[in-house]
Chains A and B, each alone.
Chain A
């Protein structure tokens, strides 16, 4: 390869990219480099809000979920538009997938195993494409800047809901828009309210250290190149830098906080230089910039617990349905508890454990998929941060593989749980006589 000029050119190019990547990334930043190091986006477990549709909150994971469903609809169209006994490419692909599951179902439960297939294969396809779409490069890097006002508003709203502060919540919903417009005014006008001071303090306490990235402006953003860490501010720095004790604010503190909230974030309003005066050296040169969080428009839907929980619930409800359909209500109940007075105590205990296990399975399903995919997303972000340009490449391959494996695990486990569910209960030897009464 190195013998031809072309080969040498390619090698030099790759070496240069690698050097730029190492020197320009977070690693290089420690030695005065880091010129293309991206800001680390805020990593949040809950899905970020993209927009409101009426009162409904459209999250970025929901957007990707619908995208995955759309892909499946297209796939269905491709696979079935020229359905024939001599299959085309897409049809073959789907047939291979279905045959894998048919083989699995029939090897565990015989012909009866076919009832698992529609659900198990739907889970496989949905999870697979949700996982894979989350790895597509643009996903997670294009987004909107969530203003501190908006961020603060949602946190404050949640705090009030948690503490059942109905009166304040009503006032908040009445006076403040969905994206937090006028929040500062609302806080200022309720400055004397002890409840507000208390919950405001709790909010500052909980979210005060949340870091915000400084941006040049609003609108659609690509994750900015720049010195990530240096450009981050905590909520306390932004909102309450001159408040003595943000956890227990006084009425005067509340007014200060309200001024910061409105002044720093109202669209089009340039924060005053005074705003940074608490740490003038640290925040020099940031006047006139927007402070906020980058909220990606798109995020792999399997990194949202709501999605994994929804599918886990669907899967386990299906499993119970198959069990009851095959064994009857009593027959299925008999697998677990049966008649508690006729069963020996150890079996009864085991049965109750198994019953609880059915609910635990929902949780294990939920967190297995979520954990794997969320970790993968963070891994990609971290690699993009450490080694921009090239760091992600091997891990994208890895994530595609993990996504596939997780889809297989989810669907095959559903199928296996189904196979267990339709197996009739066998009474152990000692219990046999008592079991006859059923």
Chain B
């Protein structure tokens, strides 16, 4: 021990010195720096999490937008289709109505025509009667053969109506 220079007071000097500095470093260097390291690790972890959240949020919102766009597109499509349908229906209706009106007008026109024709026939008939009577009068003036006359009158009437009808 003597040759190696080991003795108790000197050993204690270093032991005490080391203990003091170890405690000092634990309190003033290790403590604060470890605290700082942990704090920074926490901060980084938080930031990463926040970034992850933000990213997820962005992704989900993008998806939502996408979906909304698709919805809108579909709705638009539907609207257009609907509108086209409606337009088609409307047009058909309109065409129907027009056709009906035309029909109605035609009917009315036909009715009118029929009425006018009957009126005309009536008129012609009455006119023919007059003519016939006139003719009869004339004939009578010439000869009073009753049966011949009647036959004549009917024939005239017949002819006259046929002519009218054709």
Residues of A with Cβ closer than 8 Å to B?
44-47, 56-57, 59, 62, 65-66, 69, 72-73, 75-76, 79-80, 83-85, 87, 91, 94-95, 98-99, 102, 117-119, 121-122, 125-126, 158, 162, 301, 304-307, 309-311, 313-314
Contacts and interface: CB of A to CB of B under 8 A. Distances in A.
Contacts of A119: 22
B146 interface: no
B4 A305 contact: yes
B-side interface size class: 20 to 34
Interface stretch (B23-31, B71-79, B97-105): B23-31
B88 interface: no
B33 interface: yes
B28 A80 contact: yes
Contacts of A56: 9
B4 A45 contact: yes
A117 B22 CA distance: 11
Given A118-B25, A122-B18, 17 more contacts: A45-B5, A46-B2, A65-B17, A69-B17, A69-B20, A69-B21, A73-B24, A83-B36, A121-B25, A126-B22, A301-B14, A305-B5, A305-B6, A310-B12, A310-B17, A310-B18, A314-B18
B53 interface: no
Interface of B: 2-7, 9-15, 17-22, 24-26, 28-30, 32-34, 36-37, 39-40, 43
A309 B21 contact: no
Contact of B32 (A44, A80, A122): A80
Nearest to A75: B29
B63 to A, nearest CB: 36
27 contacts: A46-B4, A57-B10, A62-B14, A65-B13, A66-B17, A69-B20, A72-B25, A76-B24, A76-B28, A83-B33, A83-B36, A98-B34, A98-B37, A99-B37, A118-B26, A119-B22, A122-B30, A125-B25, A158-B2, A305-B5, A306-B5, A306-B7, A306-B11, A309-B11, A310-B18, A311-B18, A314-B18
Contacts of A46: 2-5
